[in-house]
Amino acid sequence: MPELTTILSRLAGRIMAGGLLIALTTPAFALYPKKSDADPHHGVRDARRKAIQGIDVSRWQGEIDWAKVKDAGTRFAFIKATEGGDHLDPNFRRNWAEARKAGVPRGAYHFVWWCRPAKDQVRWIKKHIPRDADALPPVLDVEWQNNSQCDRKISKELALAKIREMLKGLHEHTGKKPIIYTDINFHEDVLEGEFNDYPYWLRSTAAPLRHRYQRAKWEFWQFTTTGRVPGITGDVDRNAFFGSESEFTAWREGRFEIGSRTWRGGSKVAGSKAPATSAGSRAPKAAGGVALRPPPRPEKQRTAHND
């Protein structure tokens, strides 16, 4: 029955085409079925398709069940540690220890306070951010502090000078090349064309990064602030890594530099023995204990980024 054969063949073709269309248009929720978004935006669907995703957290996420966060497929976490020259996130020590215990790779971030000298902030960073060999590289969070007690904008030249000093301090302290986190406005005002050999972590919650930034490449994308992740009550920022599994692993092992997209020794070497530390050069011995210290003023007034 040729007619029946033809009909069945066409039906099978349509089913396959439909399945392919769904695979191409579905925003990859299947990669992390336990995660969701309270206010998803179509413009960031490319980020949800990235295989390697993580979160960033601070005191505002409250007490976190890191075992559940890990079970949901979280591949990395950036944890707020310090801000300015006098504030330590009160949940940092607990988050840092419990993320490690659960097996979630984690890095610490420092929120820059433009009203404080860079040297004061480096001193504060060195006092409170641990130098754990297994940690991800640290992050320098640079934004304008709109609607805060430090809302004045400094000159581009002064901002760049402060950033250089703090990047240098973070690198010297941890032994790892820092990541730069920024948003659309600050990048446009200060960072376009700057620090191109550093890894960038960019924020855009409503559009592809290429529509918002004059930057050819990026390493991390903060694509929503209304994420839902088991183990965390309420909103949490979700992020995606730009790169493959092998690049992510090699970056953590120090064999791949994600900022310059270069392999250690100039090429990818399969089966290379990992160095003693993750994500780059040898880290110093672990820093001493971190003493909790309450912020001198309410954090919600101080921080533009809800970190």
165: amino acid identity, one letter: E
Mapping DSSP to helix (H, G, I), strand (E, B) and coil, where does residue 189 land?
Answer: helix
Angle between helices 118-128 and 156-174 (to 10 degrees): 20
The pLDDT, as a whole number, for residue 122 is: 98
| Residue 87 and residue 295 in contact, taking contact as beta carbons nearer than 8 Å | yes
Say whether 143 is catalytic: yes
Which token pair is 6? 């033809």
Which token pair is 87? 């504030």
**Domain residue ranges in the chain:** 37-302
What is the DSSP code (8-state) at residue 34? T
Structurally, what CATH architecture does the domain formed by 37-302 represent?
Alpha-Beta Barrel (3.20)
Mapping DSSP to helix (H, G, I), strand (E, B) and coil, where does residue 246 land?
Answer: helix
> Which of 138, 124, 126, 51 shows the shortest CA–CA distance to 96?
138
- Give me the catalytic one of 83, 98, 143, 247: 143
Q: What is the mean pLDDT of each run of 10 residues along the chain (307 residues)?
A: 49 44 43 93 95 97 98 98 97 98 98 96 98 97 85 91 98 97 97 97 97 95 98 98 95 93 69 37 35 37 42
| Residue 263 and residue 100 in contact, taking contact as beta carbons nearer than 8 Å | no
The pLDDT, as a whole number, for residue 268 is: 60
| Residue 153 and residue 122 in contact, taking contact as beta carbons nearer than 8 Å | no
Length, in residues, of the chain: 307
The pLDDT, as a whole number, for residue 167 is: 98
What stretch of H or E contains 257? Answer: strand 256-257
